[in-house]
Amino acid sequence: MSPYIRLAALGLILPEPPTPIANFVTHAESGRLIFLSGQGPLRADGTLCTGKVGDDVTVAQAYEHARLTGLNLLAVMHAAAGDLGRIVRVVKLLGFVNATPNFSDHPKVVNGCSDLFADVFDRIGGHARSAIGVGSLPGNITVEIEAVVEIAA
């Protein structure tokens, strides 16, 4: 089944790819790999999900923020590959969680993105992953996630 059909079944619409906030590009290709720059939880109305997980943001809220971040990554993937059907493998995710020092459920937060990729890409959505906590993120966003995907030749 097409990734676009799966997105529609989830009630999701790809947004426009977010514009970089500094001196970098949204993605870089090397051979059959696309390296996607870190994205955050940017809503369709242009607002960001902000706050400190473990303080003013719950794990459940941050999970949804990571899912939204995954949707933004999918938008960049679509723009980079021209068609999500060209993705043959989600290789790796690196997730950063803006968390309090004693917070330890980073994997549960980043699962929001991982679960979305599994839903959209099925078996090729499984990936290697790291989920780490940080003291702050740009704009006080709750999560930032980057990805590496492989595309068909």
Confidence of residue 66 (pLDDT cuts 50, 70, 90): very high
Confidence of residue 80 (pLDDT cuts 50, 70, 90): very high
Confidence of residue 1 (pLDDT cuts 50, 70, 90): confident
What does pTM read for this prediction? 0.96
For residue 122, list its beta bridge partners. none
Confidence of residue 21 (pLDDT cuts 50, 70, 90): confident
For residue 145, list its beta bridge partners. 39, 95
| 105-152 pLDDT tens trace | 999 999 999 999 999 999 999 999 999 999 999 999 999 999 999 999
Q: What is the pLDDT of residue 153?
A: 85
Q: How far apart are CA 135 and CA 128, in angstroms?
A: 24
| 25-59 pLDDT tens trace | 999 999 999 999 999 999 999 999 999 999 999 99
Q: What is the pLDDT of residue 37?
A: 97
Q: What is the pLDDT of residue 64?
A: 98
Which whole number is the average pLDDT over 88-93?
A: 98
Domain ranges of the chain: 3-10+25-151
Phi, psi of 51 (to 5 degrees): 130, 175
Q: At what angle do helices 59-81 and 106-121 cross, to 10 degrees?
A: 40
Q: How far apart are CA 105 and CA 77, in angstroms?
A: 27
Which whole number is the average pLDDT over 46-75?
A: 97
> Under CATH, which number does the domain 3-10+25-151 receive?
3.30.1330.40
Q: What is the pLDDT of residue 119?
A: 97
Give the residue from 151, 153, 77 showing the smallest Cα distance to 113. 77
- Write the DSSP string, 75-125: HHHHHHHSSGGGEEEEEEEEEEEEB-TT---HHHHHHHHHHHHHHHHGGGG
Give the residue from 18, 32, 125 showing the smallest Cα distance to 72. 18
- Write the DSSP string, 47-79: PBPBS-BTTTB-HHHHHHHHHHHHHHHHHHHHH
Q: What is the pLDDT of residue 137?
A: 97
Q: How far apart are CA 66 and CA 30, in angstroms?
A: 26
